[in-house]
Chains A and B, each alone.
Chain A
């Protein structure tokens, strides 16, 4: 399935999807491993490294959010790309600084068409998201 999207930050990457219906705070992800350590979060214990992360929006103060994603990128455990529903300035700055491709406005509801384990290609340059293989 090929879907149109809106580019926020540039890049062309492919990876396994990891979907979160809850907003994400990068500061509450272990900076060295990429494992989510936020208590009561649906991704608690899961690893975001090299995933195409699908989530509704970011949360938390600008300082911690930007530093959080930057540290993941520094340790090479950042997501490959990010697909979100709502963007705000802090999330844009985070993706820009960590150089992670970020897109929004997918033409279909990302939570309905993308599932954990799907192989997803994010081509921010051309504004396209390809869901190449369904996960288990």
Chain B
């Protein structure tokens, strides 16, 4: 790969060890893909987590004096003090989480701890070159916004944030952004829950690729697109997709394929979505907790929860959690949604997600969620997946 004289000097360690390590990683990736050179990015999102692999790299950079050159936001970890008051998180893991958060602060990241940075804390524009890790973030910024990012790991995104560059490969090259398979949607999609099921199915069927979806007649809303992104990039590796007419980069199917439409085709009817739904059910009749907000709930979804819980009481033997970002919670507080949810007995928790070790107390418990992703990760004994309305109803009635 061609390197500028400044990049050569960074690799020699003239700007400190942290910056050197960051560029070493980017050059390794660039060479693996035969990238011709590095290109500038304007922003990054590092999918931080309370895990040791993540801790090792962010501390390596922070201790080596590296500092983010472009705005770089962070993913949920968890506030150990908050959870300490509720139930004992394992000491070792809590210490990892605390150190991860502290190291991201030292490396100069924006401490958003949000998995939807593209909605509030770090918003790319059409055509921007960025480095965004996180399952929903990568496909959302590529497809819905039309910025350009590869499917980054937390570490490669952080390294890009520190250097302000990424190797030019993959989705940074127009030809690589063409659709690879056609997905015919032959059913009406009702709501964001349906879009989650669709994402689950498409990710499984397509695996690694860029699907172009046809048959969607109503403009999908933000929450629906978020759920499709999060699920399709969890059961599969979908970094980008097209819904010609609604997503920004191609107005027609032919344009999405940059020419001849692929013969590779998947069709989705209500039967496939019902099958996914059945797959996500459990046989348990017990219910100990409800977990909402994977991906993080938006303000609109918090309003929905508040409306459904208004004047009601969650059963005492059911713990009720909603995960969101600090930014969103602030507005939800201002609008009275948090108060309504708390009055009913629920919690609105920030800076964390269902896949963090802080939920260890529920490891052997049975829960309910509107997120297929929550069930997919198998962090809990048993999880039933249903729509937001059904989850709230079950929390109030206990079944």
A residues touching B (Cβ–Cβ < 8 Å)? 6-9, 61-63, 66-71, 74, 87-90, 92-94, 96-97, 104
CB of B72 closer than 8 Å to a CB of A: no
CB of B234 closer than 8 Å to a CB of A: yes
Does the CB pair A67–B51 fall under 8 Å? yes
Complex Cα distance, B155 from A92, in Å, reads 11
| A71, chain B: closest CB distance, angstroms | 6
CB of B298 closer than 8 Å to a CB of A: no
Q: A63-B47, A96-B25, A97-B57 are in contact. Are A88 and B151 (CB under 8 A)?
A: yes
Does the CB pair A89–B54 fall under 8 Å? no
A68 contacts which chain B residues (CB < 8 A)?
53
Complex Cα distance, B380 from A99, in Å, reads 32
CB of B333 closer than 8 Å to a CB of A: no
Does the CB pair A62–B47 fall under 8 Å? yes
21 A-B contacts (beta carbon < 8 Å): A6-B32, A8-B32, A9-B28, A61-B135, A62-B153, A62-B154, A67-B51, A67-B52, A67-B54, A69-B53, A70-B53, A71-B52, A74-B52, A88-B208, A89-B156, A92-B29, A92-B32, A93-B155, A94-B53, A96-B24, A104-B32
Does the CB pair A63–B156 fall under 8 Å? no
Interface set, chain B 1-46, CB cutoff 8 A to A: 24-25, 28-29, 31-32
Q: A63-B47, A97-B57 are in contact. Are A70 and B52 (CB under 8 A)?
A: yes
Q: A62-B47, A96-B25 are in contact. Are A90 and B53 (CB under 8 A)?
A: no
Complex Cα distance, B56 from A69, in Å, reads 12
A contact patch SS: helix
With both beta carbons as reference points, the residue of chain A lying nearest to B34 in the complex is identified as A6
A88 contacts which chain B residues (CB < 8 A)?
151, 208, 237
A6 contacts which chain B residues (CB < 8 A)?
32
| B53, chain A: closest CB distance, angstroms | 4
Complex Cα distance, B54 from A64, in Å, reads 10
Interface set, chain B 129-179, CB cutoff 8 A to A: 133, 135, 150-156, 170
| B194, chain A: closest CB distance, angstroms | 23
Query: What does the 1/0 interface line of B213-226 toward A look like (CB < 8 Å)?
Result: 00000000000000
B residues touching A (Cβ–Cβ < 8 Å)? 24-25, 28-29, 31-32, 47, 49, 51-54, 56-57, 133, 135, 150-156, 170, 208, 234, 237, 355
Complex Cα distance, B150 from A97, in Å, reads 19
Does the CB pair B154–A63 fall under 8 Å? yes
A87 contacts which chain B residues (CB < 8 A)?
32
**What 8 pairs across the A-B complex have the smallest Cβ distances?**
A70-B53, A67-B53, A62-B153, A67-B51, A93-B153, A66-B53, A8-B32, A63-B49
Q: A92-B28, A97-B57 are in contact. Are A66 and B155 (CB under 8 A)?
A: yes
Does the CB pair B32–A61 fall under 8 Å? no
Complex Cα distance, B29 from A61, in Å, reads 17
| B210, chain A: closest CB distance, angstroms | 14
Does the CB pair A89–B152 fall under 8 Å? yes
Does the CB pair B153–A66 fall under 8 Å? yes
Does the CB pair B51–A63 fall under 8 Å? yes
B154 contacts which chain A residues (CB < 8 A)?
62-63, 66
Kindly identify which residue among B31, B56, B208, B234 contacts A70, using a CB–CB cutoff of 8 Å.
B56
Kindly identify which residue among B28, B53, B208, B355 contacts A8, using a CB–CB cutoff of 8 Å.
B28
Does the CB pair B153–A71 fall under 8 Å? no
- Among A61, A88, A97, max chain B CB count under 10 A is at A61
Complex Cα distance, B31 from A90, in Å, reads 14
Does the CB pair B56–A61 fall under 8 Å? no
B56 contacts which chain A residues (CB < 8 A)?
70, 97
With both beta carbons as reference points, the residue of chain A lying nearest to B133 in the complex is identified as A62
| B203, chain A: closest CB distance, angstroms | 11
| B21, chain A: closest CB distance, angstroms | 9
- Among B133, B150, B155, max chain A CB count under 10 A is at B155
With both beta carbons as reference points, the residue of chain B lying nearest to A59 in the complex is identified as B237
| B101, chain A: closest CB distance, angstroms | 15
Does the CB pair B135–A66 fall under 8 Å? no
B237 contacts which chain A residues (CB < 8 A)?
88
Does the CB pair A93–B54 fall under 8 Å? no
Q: A61-B135, A63-B47, A66-B153 are in contact. Are A96 and B53 (CB under 8 A)?
A: no
Complex Cα distance, B92 from A74, in Å, reads 15
- Among A8, A62, A97, A104, max chain B CB count under 10 A is at A62
